[in-house]
Each structure stands twice: as structure tokens, then as C-alpha cells.
Amino acid sequence: MDNTRSLSSISSTSSLLFTRTNEFYKIQNRVKFKSPRALSIRATSSDSVVTLLDYGAGNVRSVRNAIRHLGFGIKDVQTPEDILNANRLIFPGVGAFAAAMDVLNKTGMAEALCAYIEKDRPFLGICLGLQLLFQSSEENGPVNGLGLIPGVVGRFDSSNGFRVPQIGWNALQITKDSEILDDVGDHHVYFVHSYRAMPSDDNKEWVSSTCNYGDNFIASVRRGNVHAVQFHPEKSGDVGLSVLRRFLHPKTNIPKKPTEGKALKLAKRVIACLDVRANDKGDLVVTKGDQYDVREHTKENEVRNLGKPVELARQYYKEGADEISFLNITGFRDFPLGDLPMLQVLRLTSENVFVPLTVGGGIRDFTDANGRHYSSLEVASEYFRSGADKISIGSDAVYAAEDYLKTGVKTGKSSLEQISRVYGNQAVVVSIDPRRVYITHPNDVEFKAVRVTDLGPNGEEYAWYQCTVNGGREGRPIGAYELAKAVEDLGAGEILLNCIDCDGQGKGFDMDLIKLISDAVSIPVIASSGAGAVEHFSDVFRKTNASAALAAGIFHRKEVPIQSVKEHLYKEGIEVRI
Ligand code: 1PR
């Protein structure tokens, strides 16, 4: 895209750009400090309006979209009185525990929340909105919480082989009638978190379900009209919408749906990836490369056009994709906030796609033609606010890892560090684009090499995986193994592991590479590039520690539907969400 043209449209966007910190600040200034205990509860507003406590710490667009999708209007909390006067309050806590408590305390909302909950008014906390109800958290702490439920929120233990954060679809063990979970049964729901509260004798009157991830943690609580869930109903597909629906319509007699799920534990995820870019006419299209070459080999040499991003994303959601990734593949040379159609794609998709959305491409610092500087954090914030749950960093993470390995110092200034500090590492994916380089002996290079399953063209028995930037155009002096370990240190929450050699080939994933990386890090790894048949998915989950497998071409060309991948995995005894 032409930067000059695109930048003219940025001025309207720039006012939208703000970080979470700024947003906190705005809210703190906006809210009057007044003791909520001195306030009386006014007449309630309409039944079709739900009050939302959004303190601006991240993406709650999906919660808003889900509420609207279910036919409700939204009233945003501006003052503590709004909490006390709510008919029905949803608190989708996002971000870090300490920062959230800071805002709640400074604005008087903490007291209002306690008063509201103590009066048994209808409340639904989501994720951090559950954790904040407890006495304290170890996240950057100890930090005191609202103190309504006995217990301390602690970090998952990764020493027993469980990857932290827990990202994905897990099963609930329902321990008491919670009403809002009536349709969950044996279906999976979506979790994304590094911290959790544990059930104990002291809090057992609250606990309505637990989930197992290394240990049994609290997945939901309920007392009277007060509910809170550690999972994300707004990202848990139809099952999640049913949780919200039951909270919003408590008195209506919605018949309990028969349980058809088979959830036992954390499921392996199947992800549909949409590589997006503008074609030569300027329309945003889903394209697909062969080893990253996205142009047709015809006289016209056009960008391959496999469909429209929003339509395809909706279709994949309906077909059972556990997650959708959008990669803005020319983001490395265009300024993504100039690429407003991409933001529009996210906004439209998140209106009725209720599974996690990742967006990548062009997340880096940028200075426009007028000298206005945009930080990568601002770019990411705009993506989050447009509906992304996770952002994915490619080229910029390579440079950050190179610097880190050279100096051994975490400057805290890289996009990776800044974004994960503000939004949490579960929101930051690093996309690796490596190319296989065959060698005869592992000591031929300073990078980690593996013995390859299939020999190289000259009978080479080893290979290392060279990282690239700018959509595979430039090789860098760093291997995929070194990069993966460095970005984990710098705060990445997940790795999207592509392979240029396998991309679009349909011959299966690069098992050597995926095994190497998924054994090297303790964050989840998404296997990508090369899926051509359902067996490739079972293979990658059997032979490697990948947490998810991503495919593009076979889904776009309708060669293998997502549902048949799921059915195959299920028949093979691999846990999937069905
Ligand atoms: O460097 O931060 O701007 O991010 C650019 C992003 O765009 C990176 O995530 C990079 O992987 C991606 N990208 C850049 N150029 C291309 C290209 O194809 N020319 N796409 C590209 C990467 C790879 C996968 C693909 C799988 C599965 N595409 O996303 O979807 O290989 O395909 P398959 O199932 O058909 O084999 P930055």
C-alpha cells in the first residue's frame, strides 16, 4: 500500500490510539471519588440493558459483541454509582491483577463492587474478573484483591511439563448447580491465563466447577446471583454464548440442552490461518503462497485470490475452527494503521465470530511522513481494540531476539516486551518464518542443528533452521531454536512456527523442526505449514509437543474441511473440541 495515501487517513485514527495506561488514567480522572456505602440504589434501568465494567485494559470488544448478539444493550460504568445501580453487571477483567486493583481502588469502584456483590445483585466476572474476587494474588505481588472469596491466586506450575500460559479449550468438572453452566456439560470452554485460584475448604461454598491443568483449579464460582468464570464465554463458541445467555435471562425457562460433548482435558487446537494482503486492484484478499510466493505463475502474475477475509473467517468459525489467525503479510513494508481495511476486517469478524482472533503483520515502531511516531504498542492497542485477542510479531521479534542474545540484556523496549508487559504474555504470539539449511555436520554452524528425517539434496544428514524477516525475503544470523528460547525469555506467550520449505506443499508438517522447538520452550507452540491431509494433524500431535496445528491452503481450497480434521483426531483418540 502507498504510505502517502494511507497516512492521510491516519489522523482520524490517531485520536483512537491510546495505551492501556492512558486509558486507566482517563478513567481515574473521570470517576468521582465518593464512598459508595453512602450511596443509595436508584430505580433499576431496563431489563434489556446490561452494565459493563470496562476499565480499558484490553480487548472487551468480544464481550460487547456477544452481549449485543444476544439482544442486549450495554451501559458502560462511568462512576461507582453506575455499579450500584446496575440491574445486571458484567465485569470482564483483563490485564494484570495489580493494575486492575489499582484502578478499582483509586476510582472507588472496588468498594462499589463489594457493596453490589454483598447485596447479592446479579454479577458475572470473567477471567481476571473472577480472580479479583479473591483475597490476594501472587501476580507481581502479593497484591490484595477484593477479598470476597477466601484464597490466593497463584501461578500455574510449569515444572510438571504443563505449558504456561494455559491457552486453549479445556473441560469443566461441575461441582454444583450453577444455572449458567447448564448447557456446558461435557463441552470444552476456552481458557487463557497463567494464574489461577485453587479450591479449598474455605472457599468450597463458592466453587461451582473446577478444571484440571496440572492441578485442579477453580473454573467458576457461584453464590446466589453472583457468578464468575475463569474461562472466556465470549470466546467459547456456542457453548460460551449459552453461558452468557443464561446469565442474562435467568428467569426464563431455557430448556437444558442434552450433553453431546466429549471433553476430558485440554484439547489440541485446529487453527485456520488467513494470509491477507491488498491485491493489485487494492482490494484486501485472502491469499496463499507456495513457499511464501503468493503470485499466480501466469502472464498477469496476479496475487492469488482465495476469498474475502471476513466471509472466510465466519465460515471457518461455523465449521469448528478453534481459533482464526489473520496475517497481514505485507505489514512489514506497509504501516498497518494505514491499512484501515485490516482493522475493519477485525471489527466485522469479531461481531459474530466467538473464538479467539489473532492478528499479525507490521507490529513495530513506525514514523510517518509527518514525523509522527507510532510505537508498536500503539499499533497493537489498535488491533486489540478492533477485536484481536492476540497479536503476532514476526520480523520485529527477530531483531529483538538478536539484540538480546548479543547483549544478554532485556531492555524492556522491544515491541515484544512492551506489549506483553501491558497486555500480558498470553496476548503475544511470535511468528517464526524459518528456512531449512542442510549441513553435513552439526558443528558446521553455531546454531542448533537437528538430524533430519529426510536427507538433504546432497545426502546431508543435518539441518539448521535459519530465521527470516520481511516475509521470508531476508535470512538472518539466528536459528529458530535460539529465537524461540530468546522470545520466550522476552515475554512471548506462544509461538507460531511456520516453515518456508513446507508452506503450501501439502506434504505434512516439518516434524524435525516442530519437535525441536516444542521441546525447547515451555510456552505453547502452534505447528504451521504443509498440512495436506487429516493424517498430518494426527501425526504432528502424536510425534511432537505442539499444542495446536494451523493450516491455510487445504481449508481455502476446500480440500479438507475443518470438521473432518476434528473427526479424524477424535477417532484417533486425540482430545479435540467437537
Ligand atoms: O514480519 O511482523 O510484519 O509479520 C509478517 C507475518 O506475515 C508473519 O507472521 C509471516 O509469517 C507472514 N508472512 C509474510 N509473508 C508471507 C508469505 O506467505 N509471503 N505468510 C507470510 C506466512 C505462513 C503461514 C501459512 C502456513 C500454512 N504464511 O501463515 O498460513 O504456512 O500454510 P499451508 O497450510 O497452506 O501450508 P511481520
CB 548 within 8 A of CB 269: yes
What percent of the chain stands above pLDDT 90?
A: 72
Pocket test for ligand 1, best of 285, 428, 498 (most atoms within 8 A of CB): 498
Q: Which atom of ligand 1 is nearest to the CA of 498?
A: 31
Among 248, 281, 316, where does a domain finish? 248
Cα–Cα distance between 25 and 56 in angstroms, integer?
10
Cα–Cα distance between 334 and 471 in angstroms, integer?
12
Residues 29, 145, 131, 82: is their CA dihedral positive or negative?
A: negative
**Domain membership flag for residue 309:** yes
pLDDT at residue 6 in the model: 32
The three three-digit cell numbers of residue 265, written as one number? 482435558
pLDDT at residue 100 in the model: 87
227 with 154, same domain: the answer is yes
**Domain membership flag for residue 549:** yes
Query: From ligand 1's centre to the CA of 413, what distance in Å?
Result: 25
204 vs 96: which has the higher pLDDT? 204
Query: From ligand 1's centre to the CA of 275, what distance in Å?
Result: 6
Query: From ligand 1's centre to the CA of 504, what distance in Å?
Result: 11
pLDDT at residue 58 in the model: 64
Question: For residue 136, is pLDDT > 80?
Answer: yes
Minimal-distance CA residue to ligand 1 atom 31: 529
Give the DSSP per-residue string, 401-433.
HHHHHHH----S-SHHHHHHHHH-GGGEEEEE-
416 with 556, same domain: the answer is yes
pLDDT at residue 332 in the model: 67
98 with 205, same domain: the answer is yes
Pocket test for ligand 1, best of 431, 496, 537 (most atoms within 8 A of CB): 431
**Domain membership flag for residue 299:** no
CB 464 within 8 A of CB 445: yes
CB 364 within 8 A of CB 379: yes
**Domain membership flag for residue 259:** no
pLDDT at residue 289 in the model: 87
Helix 415-423, helix 376-385: angle, nearest 10 = 40
241 with 318, same domain: the answer is no
Cα–Cα distance between 25 and 414 in angstroms, integer?
23
The torsion angles phi and psi of 503, rounded to 5 degrees, stand at -55, 125
**Residues with catalytic annotation?**
127, 232, 234, 275, 433
Min mean pLDDT across 20-34, 192-206, 236-250, 447-461 is at 20-34
Give the DSSP per-residue string, 99-148.
HHHHHHHHHTHHHHHHHHHHTT--EEEEEHHHHTTEEEE-TTS-EE---S
Min mean pLDDT across 211-220, 333-342, 397-406, 533-542 is at 333-342
Q: Which atom of ligand 1 is nearest to the CA of 551?
A: 34
**Domain membership flag for residue 477:** yes
383 with 454, same domain: the answer is yes
Minimal-distance CA residue to ligand 1 atom 8: 394
213 with 312, same domain: the answer is no
Q: How many domains are contained in the chain? A: 2
Question: For residue 460, is pLDDT > 80?
Answer: yes
Q: Which atom of ligand 1 is nearest to the CA of 364?
A: 2
The torsion angles phi and psi of 248, rounded to 5 degrees, stand at -75, -30
CB 547 within 8 A of CB 168: yes
Domain carrying residue 383: 268-291+305-572
Q: Which atom of ligand 1 is nearest to the CA of 433?
A: 11
Cα–Cα distance between 497 and 528 in angstroms, integer?
6
**Distances in whole angstroms, Cα of residue 55 to Cα of each of 60, 64, 78:** 10, 13, 9
Minimal-distance CA residue to ligand 1 atom 14: 471
Dmax (CA) for the chain in angstroms is: 81
287 with 238, same domain: the answer is no
Minimal-distance CA residue to ligand 1 atom 15: 471
Cα–Cα distance between 256 and 262 in angstroms, integer?
17
Cα–Cα distance between 478 and 399 in angstroms, integer?
10
pLDDT at residue 41 in the model: 37
pLDDT tier for residue 338 given thresholds of 50, 70 and 90: low
**Domain membership flag for residue 28:** no
250 vs 35: which has the higher pLDDT? 250
**Domain membership flag for residue 300:** no
**CATH value at residue 341:** 3.20.20.70
pLDDT tier for residue 14 given thresholds of 50, 70 and 90: very low
560 with 462, same domain: the answer is yes
CA neighbor of 57 nearest in space, from 28, 83, 84: 28
Min mean pLDDT across 165-179, 252-266, 459-473, 508-522 is at 252-266
Annotated binding site for L-glutamine: 127
Among 214, 248, 282, where does a domain finish? 248
pLDDT at residue 462 in the model: 98
Minimal-distance CA residue to ligand 1 atom 7: 329
CA neighbor of 3 nearest in space, from 472, 288, 330: 330
Minimal-distance CA residue to ligand 1 atom 4: 361
418 with 565, same domain: the answer is yes
339 with 221, same domain: the answer is no
pLDDT, average across residues 126-138: 96
Query: From ligand 1's centre to the CA of 475, what distance in Å?
Result: 15
383 with 422, same domain: the answer is yes
Please report where in the chains the cell 431496563 appears, as a residue: 46
Question: For residue 490, is pLDDT > 90?
Answer: yes
Q: Pick the most confident of 20-34, 222-236, 381-395.
A: 222-236
pLDDT at residue 310 in the model: 95
Cα–Cα distance between 110 and 116 in angstroms, integer?
10
CB 546 within 8 A of CB 513: no
β partners of residue 462: 439, 451
Min mean pLDDT across 48-62, 135-149, 519-533 is at 48-62
**Domain membership flag for residue 297:** no
Pocket test for ligand 1, best of 1, 327, 429 (most atoms within 8 A of CB): 327
Annotated binding site for substrate: 362, 498
**CATH value at residue 128:** 3.40.50.880
**Distances in whole angstroms, Cα of residue 222 to Cα of each of 87, 106, 259:** 18, 27, 21
pLDDT at residue 258 in the model: 58
Average pLDDT, the chain: 88
Query: From ligand 1's centre to the CA of 500, what distance in Å?
Result: 9
Question: For residue 49, is pLDDT > 80?
Answer: yes
Q: Which atom of ligand 1 is nearest to the CA of 553?
A: 35
Minimal-distance CA residue to ligand 1 atom 12: 329
Please list every protein residue whose CB sits less than 6 Å from any atom of ligand 1.
273, 275, 288-289, 292, 294, 327, 329, 331-332, 360-363, 392-396, 431, 433, 471-472, 498, 503-504, 528-531, 551-553
Query: From ligand 1's centre to the CA of 495, what distance in Å?
Result: 13
533 with 419, same domain: the answer is yes
pLDDT at residue 131 in the model: 96
Pocket test for ligand 1, best of 274, 329, 379, 383 (most atoms within 8 A of CB): 329
pLDDT tier for residue 293 given thresholds of 50, 70 and 90: confident
Among 213, 248, 283, where does a domain finish? 248
Query: From ligand 1's centre to the CA of 501, what distance in Å?
Result: 12
Alpha carbons within 13 A on the beta-carbon side of 420: 25
pLDDT at residue 469 in the model: 97
